[in-house]
Amino acid sequence: MRFNTSHHLTKAVEALALEGFAGPDARRKDTWESSRLWQRLRRLGTKLWLDTGDLKAASQRWSTEFEALTTNNTLLNREVQKGIYDDYIAETLSSSSVLRDLDRRQRIIELALILNARHGLRLVERFDAWVSVELHTDLADDLEGTIWYGKRLFQIYPERFLIKVPLTPAGYLAARRLSEAGVRVNFTLGFSARQNYLAAMLAEPAFVNVFLGRLNSFVTDNDLGDGENVGEKTLAASQGVVTELRELRSLVTQQIAASMRAGDQVTALAGVNVMTLPVAVADDFVSSEVSSEELVPLSDRQFPVALEGGQPEAAVNTLWEVPPSFRQVTAAMLDEPLEDYDADDLQAFFVERGLGGLFPEWSEDDRQVICEDGKIPSYPRWADRLHSGDVALDALMSISGLKQFAADQQALDDRIVAHFS
């Protein structure tokens, strides 16, 4: 879509987002306690983040070993639906002629950006922490829109903001341009080692993710096995290739373990670069009273996976495999005129080299099925295409996650629109 990109709009929105922001409260640092258990994880090289936008819940679990919080469309929507921003939305709409003069769609996106920034700044004030803030899901396939809004959101508070960009063809290219511009990108909705290898090589974001809990759920929910270690094995493989690229090519990208579901996963994944922990998972880990001997580096562990039947195995194996052929294609891509590429060009490049399943051309019927399935796809619906390679499991999981975020974004948008006159 076309946007009003005036400098006047940019500065007005930035001022609205920052209104009343006093900066981190240094006095609060003395109120947070330290934990020997979290210290052990830090000594193994793991940075600790909380995966919540709930200030009260985060305050009850925060300790000096934590350094960031993550929000997303779902987590922000939960806070907005509490009504805590209703008065602010109404007052902003009544007082800002700049917003009133925009068309309806851009007005919604601008207000969503403001809410992302304002809530992120509240977290910064409380915890003096880095905060991942996410773009509107309408921008996921919009290369120029993602770049423009990503830069703007980052510049509201570059001292503490990380910008989440979703894993789509446009997202890969936008992340590259944003990283080149000095924006710290958290490249989200990753589900395989090869997706993250490609992201690190192409875009060099600050962070990449594996949503490991959703991978385990895909196997269990579809009765393909017990689900044990699917996400963990994928995460370990992705950490391996990301570490390799940092060492061999001096890239900066770090690996996040996301979508964690239980405290024992914290123990199993000790040593991963970053864990972003839902409060319930952090509480579960603390209550487990893990000993020092049980906390061993991720690289020292094995993650066996058992699947039922032979057919799903080929699809699932793609999650942790980064074969030489894929590395060669990625290397060849870096020789392309990427500054001139759009999302269609990136898709075509991989299709021509036999990797079209990584970037499928989703039909409207496909998208409808994905929305009906929710964040965990139905294997029977997709089995034939997964088996043929027409669709890859990592790609399917990424778009399923994006559509789920989009549903929550729509709920947030509806809350905004309720204040339109």
Q: pTM above the 0.95 mark?
A: yes
Q: What is the mean pLDDT of each run of 10 residues along the chain (421 residues)?
A: 91 97 79 92 97 97 96 97 98 94 96 98 96 98 98 98 98 98 98 98 98 98 95 98 96 98 97 98 94 89 89 92 98 98 98 97 97 96 95 98 98 97 80
**Residue 326 covered by a domain:** no
- Annotated catalytic residue, options 47, 164, 233, 375: 164
Residue among 147, 51, 221, 165 at smallest CA distance from 398: 165
Q: Taking the CB of residue 60, how many other CB atoms lie within 10 A of it?
A: 11
What is the rounded CA–CA span in Å between residue 76 and residue 74? 6
164 is catalytic: yes
pLDDT in tens, 123-141: 999 999 999 999 999 999 9
The number of distinct structural domains making up the chain is 1
With residue 386 as reference, give the H or E element that holds it. helix 379-388
Report if residue 163 sits inside a domain.
Answer: yes
- What is the rounded distance in angstroms from the CA atom of residue 409 to the CA atom of residue 334? 34
Helix H or strand E encompassing 71? none
> Is there a domain that residue 334 lies in?
no
How many C-beta atoms lie closer than 10 Å to residue 103's C-beta?
11
Helix, strand or coil, per DSSP, at residue 277: strand
Neighbours of 347 (CB within 10 A): 18
112, part of any domain = yes
Residue 2: the pLDDT is 84
Residue 276 parent element (H or E): strand 274-277
> Domain limits at 146?
32-305+403-417
DSSP 100: H
pLDDT at 123 (0 to 100)? 97
Residues 25 and 104: their CA atoms lie apart, in Å, by 37
pLDDT of residue 31: 82
| 8 Å CB contact between 84 and 415 | no
Residue 190 lies in a domain: yes
Tell me whether residue 330 is in a domain: no
The enclosing domain of 36 has a CATH number of: 3.20.20.70
Q: Cα 245 to chain center, whole Å?
A: 20
User: How confident is the model over 307-363, as pLDDT tens digits?
Assistant: 987 778 999 999 999 999 999 999 999 999 999 999 999 999 999 999 999 999 999
Distance CA 178, CA 174 (A): 6
* Domain contains 4: no
* Domain annotation covers residue 22: no
Average pLDDT, the chain: 96
DSSP code at position 264: H
